[in-house]
Structure 1
Amino acid sequence: MQHKPATLETLQEYQESPLVSRFFCRTCGAHVFAQSKSSGRYFVASGVLVAADTPAVHSIQHWKAGDTGDGGLSAYLPGWPSTDISCRLQAPSGSPESSETGGDAMQKRPVESSDSLQGQNNLQARCHCGGIDFFITPPDASSTQAWSQWSDLLIPFNSGYADLDNKADVKWFLRQGNTKYLAGTCACASCRLHSGFPIQVWAFIPKSNIFNADGSSLTFGHGTMRQYKSSPGVYREFCDHCGATVFWHNDGRPTVIDVSAGLIRGKHARSEELLDWATGRVSFAEMAVQKDLVKLLEEGLQQYAKQH
């Protein structure tokens, strides 16, 4: 878009760098627009578009894929242009403005965390502005005490499976001999409208393995965290400063929390030292608006699994 959206004043602006601003809903955290200051163009988060306004997928480009270390989700979308091109939100490489964008400003902020969480195999999770900062510890004895009904990621809710409530108490969220946590992709309408994007990535973590940066047990509402009740008994947290999606949880299974995997700071983007990614399907794929994109992702996930 070359013109300023009429609804911009109703959104929260977050200036992530001198030349990039993002705009998100103050109530639920959904990202709606981003603006490149160098070009003046506005970009629309496709997850907020209704089906009639959503264009078909003709090609896919992965911006700054090299920064991920492992390709991130681009590894699951083979056969499409994957050149490590510059992000279109930023100024063109080599231009005077590009040197002003700097790196991730959040990375320059000192991390204040408990000594008890340092020097271990814990992973930090942090939003872009640093207002939400917590740690995830590897699975331990407490992890096996958590319970959750089955995730649609593994057993579709429309499958007719008799034990969706997981009365057998299968610890499906623990993987690789209880050394990793399950992570995967979701295309449900609620996640799409909450984040503003057609695909949301979640890691399923027992609450006992999530700690505030000071070493205390996880506290909802800590720092810049804001809660949005997306449906009865269902809660979503986001950062009210930068708009980052943070958690999903509900009253029915309070001991397992969905953590937005993009916040986790592993060795590479997919944090595979602690996360085991589901490749069988995209959760709630049938609810997707951009069905062509989700179909490509599911095919890519399954192809990736065969090759690895």
Structure 2
Amino acid sequence: MTTAKEDKGEEETLELVAHCLCKAHRFTAQVPRSSLPLKAAYCHCTSCRRVTGALHSTYVPWPGDAAAILASSSLRRYAYAPHLTLFSCRVCSSNMFVEKTDVNNPPGYGVQTGVLANIDIPGLINITNHVFLGDTLDGGASPWLCDANKDGSRPRLWRGARGQSQELSSTHHHWPAGLSSPSEDTDIPVRCHCGGVDLVLRQPMADFAARERSELPWFVDPVSNKSRANFDACDSCRLSSGSDVYYWTFVLLRHLAFPSPRSDGQQPHFLTHAKFPESSLALKAAVSSTADKRDPRWGTLTFYESSPDVQRYFCSRCAACVFYASDDRPEMVDLAIGLLDSGDGARAESLLAWDYGDKVGWRQDVVGGWREGFVESIEAAAERWRIERNYPKSWRRRQMEEQKVSPVPSNNASIEQSAN
């Protein structure tokens, strides 16, 4: 951030910076301090979840020069809706801007808050509205996003579009209580917005239930056999997705698959029985194959290597984040929760054991900037949500609390967290 005190009598301004993960794109805007906080709208609709991989999209009006955005030929444009165009980095997939057109007004531009620099301006963002919450079925991430405003104001909640649908009380939760019962015989679709990435997650809970506790992967709750779902504030994840806090779950590659062959038999015969890769190295090789050797079922899936041993998979058309993979964990990937179509809600609680109230992962990346207070509010609100719903503490937290009482090690594998 840079601040500039103008000549006496003129208002102080600050510089906003928006950049992508690979830093191929950097945009700046000077804004007067009196215009702060920036007004943010959170959209929880199914389309926004599918186009980001997060549980929502979050835009504020961009006060900078729109011409600079339009002049960048290396920004990918995606026609998201009849009057909405998204702009993302072709290299690293960072979701950056949205253009809204209206025949009666000049185009307007918004920036995803996750690509804004973490400047030291507490309360830089003020959440004014949460929209299309009805699409989530379970409220999605809204229960922990209603207390984030520094001035104590609460956003307005809408079942659909703002001002055109039922308004919900922000002090009362409108979603079914209790954990959903898992359906162990149902594959869960994993799809991006444009449909270019179309995979399935084969229910892993029955597989985990058949194992001894000591044989479970570190991310599996040994009581429920559900996979961990966590909150992640790392800089790389927010920049690649455009979401200030991202939500991942963890899956073994052998639990992922292509959808069943189409009934019209259009798949080439030699591909219909090809196995899904069971290691991150094999996945990388398959997706990066030359066009004549690449299985067409990979669709638009591609990746960006954010580190020499890290691959961030995304859709090359709509830019949705899909996987995080690391060479030192070859058997598994992090899976973007926003792409799951579980049928029981955006949080997929029939399958996932959430870290409600635990410390947000990689919170050290937000220290010293406006996101620090934002993340602290999320941690506190998620803990209140857990207590209100009578959800148990995460098994990771229970394990750590038990270890403070007794030094006897757990039989579980380490509760390590993925590097980002």
Correspondence for 2:84: 20
Task: From 50, 69, 86, give the equivalent of 2:137.
Answer: 69
User: Based on CA coordinates, which of the two structures has the bigger radius of gyration?
Assistant: 2
Correspondence for 1:278: 355
Kindly indicate whether residue 66 of structure 2 is the aligned counterpart of residue 4 of structure 1: yes
RMSD: 2.8
CA distance, structure 1, for counterparts of residue 146 and residue 189 of structure 2 = 29
Correspondence for 1:238: 314
CA distance, structure 2, for counterparts of residue 22 and residue 53 of structure 1 = 28
Correspondence for 2:99: 35
Correspondence for 1:291: 372
Residues 211 and 57 of structure 1: is their aligned pair in 2 closer, same or farther, counting only changes over 3 Å?
Answer: same
CA distance, structure 2, for counterparts of residue 15 and residue 271 of structure 1 = 28
Deviation string 1:218-254 (CA, Å, 9 cap, x unpaired) is 5552210111001121110000100100000101111
Aligned length: 260
Gaps of 5+ in 2: 1-61, 148-153, 166-183, 262-274, 278-282, 288-297, 390-420
Runs of 4+ in structure 1 off by over 4 angstroms are: 85-88, 140-146
Correspondence for 2:341: 265
Q: Secondary structure at 2:379's aligned position in 1?
A: helix
Residues 169 and 143 of structure 1: is their aligned pair in 2 closer, same or farther, counting only changes over 3 Å?
Answer: closer
Q: Secondary structure at 1:52's aligned position in 2?
A: coil
Task: Work out whether residues 138 and 179 of structure 1, in 8 Å CA contact, stay in contact via their aligned partners in 2.
Answer: no
Task: Work out whether residues 142 and 208 of structure 1, in 8 Å CA contact, stay in contact via their aligned partners in 2.
Answer: no
Correspondence for 2:28: none
Which aligned pairs between 1:105-124 and structure 2 lie closer than 5 A?
Answer: 120-124=185-189
Task: From 173, 176, 185, give the equivalent of 2:219.
Answer: 173
Residues 29 and 307 of structure 1: is their aligned pair in 2 closer, same or farther, counting only changes over 3 Å?
Answer: same
Gaps of 5+ in 1: 95-118, 147-167
Deviation string 1:103-132 (CA, Å, 9 cap, x unpaired) is xxxxxxxxxxxxxxxx93221110000000
Letter aligned with residue 241 of structure 1: R
Letter aligned with residue 157 of structure 2: T
Kindly indicate whether residue 314 of structure 2 is the aligned counterpart of residue 250 of structure 1: no
Task: Work out whether residues 133 and 160 of structure 2, in 8 Å CA contact, stay in contact via their aligned partners in 1.
Answer: no
Q: Secondary structure at 1:58's aligned position in 2?
A: strand
For normalisation by structure 2, the TM-score amounts to 0.57
Letter aligned with residue 286 of structure 1: Q
Task: From 74, 84, 88, give the equivalent of 2:158.
Answer: 84
Report the identity percentage.
30
Residues 189 and 87 of structure 1: is their aligned pair in 2 closer, same or farther, counting only changes over 3 Å?
Answer: farther
Correspondence for 2:257: 211
Task: Work out whether residues 216 and 222 of structure 2, in 8 Å CA contact, stay in contact via their aligned partners in 1.
Answer: no
Q: Secondary structure at 2:68's aligned position in 1?
A: coil
Task: Work out whether residues 133 and 158 of structure 2, in 8 Å CA contact, stay in contact via their aligned partners in 1.
Answer: yes
